Amino acid sequence: MENNEPVDQERRKFIKTVCMGVAAVALSPAAFKILGPSEALAFVQNTKRRWVFLVDTNKCIGCGFCVKACKQENEIAYDAPVSRTWVERYVVKKDGDTLIDSPKAGRDGFIDAAIEGQAVPPSEIAKGFFVPKLCNQCENPPCVQVCPVGATYQIKEGIVMVDRKWCIGCGYCIEACPYSARFFNPELKVAEKCNFCYHRTVKGLKPACVQNCPVGARQIGNIKDPDDPVTKIVLNERVSVLKEEYGTDPQAYYLGLDRSVR
Amino acid sequence: MHNHVIRPFLVVLAVFVILITVRHFFVPKDFKVGDRGFMYSYHRQGNEKEWADFKVKYQSREYCADCHDENFKKIIASPHKIIQCENCHGPAVGHPDTIEKLPIDKSRELCERCHTKLNYPTSLRGQIKGIDPQQHYPGKECCSCHDPHHPNGPSRTVDNNLAGTNLKETGAAINGK
């Protein structure tokens, strides 16, 4: 018994040292890092906002007020066949044929029952609905990566913007977008796209298309805020996105999307 | 070292120096990497401010209600309460300061956006009361009979004899039936 005492003390010392060593290694140097003022500010300011869009195709009536408002709000040539947002009409016939049109991007609504020049009698229509489309503000935007001059970029709220002064109008981004959400601004000769009405959202207003939709088919929300009604729908209901297979992680969510929608 | 090795090296160095110098003067000072890293947000920081200063055109009907209280109350009590004022009256930017009177779109095409009957079973559009524009008094302005602020109310035809009467009878009278 007496002979064992020094061994015990040796063991105690060893265990002590090992514990302290492990604790010292586990305490990463990051814990002692002093944040710069801008880094500290980033933690308290605006970092908890990421805009997402929610389109309810069950509600859309194809009035086209969103397109009209968007073009006027964002000063896009009114009569040019281009638009930041557009509405597509789908008519699926009972024989399986799908007819799709979007006259003038849906700016003047759908006032003619004939689609693609065909007057489909109501008895032959299996499904008929409208799908509003806009920039998906992808989490991994392919349009940004291809810009050779850094004229398009993503901000912390997730919105992809175009620098009109810096854009050289090469059109790579227009080609890169799998959703055809970008186009060439015929007046300014630069790439053009939806930016969720950034000039309105920074002032606390809703985008023009959201405000002017009479049926609430278009909504914007902050996915980082669990109490946001849009977040609740995106997280709890059955939503889908367009062209998920491209890996762009689009942030425009759709309710009631049909397989005929491309 | 041999001369033929040094000379091309000097050319490469010169090109590099010229590039760096030109870039220094040409690229704006606020060109920086943003919050999403170099791949997604290397940009001119000042552009965010430029977009934030872009002019807002659509003001929402709360702005209209400040002065046009009577019309606001009227439409709020009708099925047209879901429609924003500016959809028919145009964006209110500059009104009333610089633009005294906003243009009113009274065209048939405006009403037809929602009220052309489209029998789509899986869309809300199919449930809206609609007409066939070719059959329903073609060429007539909708608002010569229907009050857009109060669509369910009595008719408001230009003909004083017919004002306030039932819309069905009014229609029959206009068509001479």
- Mark yes or no for CB contact B31/A129 under 8 Å: no
Of A150, A195, A214, the CB nearest to B42: A150
- Examine the domain organization and report whether B94 and B62 are in the same domain: yes
The per-residue pLDDT for B173 is: 47
Q: Which site among A76, A111, A166, A198 would you substitute to test the B interface, given the most B Cβ atoms closer than 10 Å to its Cβ?
A: A111
Does a structural domain hold residue B52? Answer: yes
Does a structural domain hold residue B111? Answer: no
The per-residue pLDDT for A123 is: 93
- Examine the domain organization and report whether B36 and B69 are in the same domain: no
On whether the CB atoms of residues A212 and B58 are closer than 8 A, the answer is yes
What range defines the domain where residue B86 resides? 58-105
Q: Which site among B23, B42, B43, B83 would you substitute to test the A interface, given the most A Cβ atoms closer than 10 Å to its Cβ?
A: B43
Q: Which of residues 206-235 of A touch B (CB under 8 A)?
A: 208, 211-212, 214-215
CA distance B37 to chain A (A): 9
Span A194-249, pLDDT tens digits? 999 999 999 999 999 999 999 999 999 999 999 999 999 999 999 999 999 999 99
More confident residue, B174 or B156: B156
Does a structural domain hold residue B165? Answer: no
Chain A residues with beta carbon closer than 8 angstroms to that of B55: 199
- Examine the domain organization and report whether B100 and B63 are in the same domain: yes
Does a structural domain hold residue B38? Answer: yes
- Examine the domain organization and report whether B33 and B48 are in the same domain: yes
With CA atoms as reference, report the closest residue to A85 among A200, A242, A195, A201. Answer: A195
Number of domains in chain B: 2
CA–CA dist A155, A151 (Å, integer): 13
Q: Report residues of chain A scoring pLDDT below 70.
A: 1-7, 27-47
Answer whether residue B4 shows pLDDT above 50: yes
Does a structural domain hold residue B95? Answer: yes
CA–CA dist A191, A180 (Å, integer): 12
- Examine the domain organization and report whether B71 and B49 are in the same domain: no
With CA atoms as reference, report the closest residue to A191 among A175, A202, A213. Answer: A175
On whether the CB atoms of residues B93 and B57 are closer than 8 A, the answer is yes
Find, in chain A, the residue whose alpha carbon is nearest to that of B88: A65
Does a structural domain hold residue B97? Answer: yes
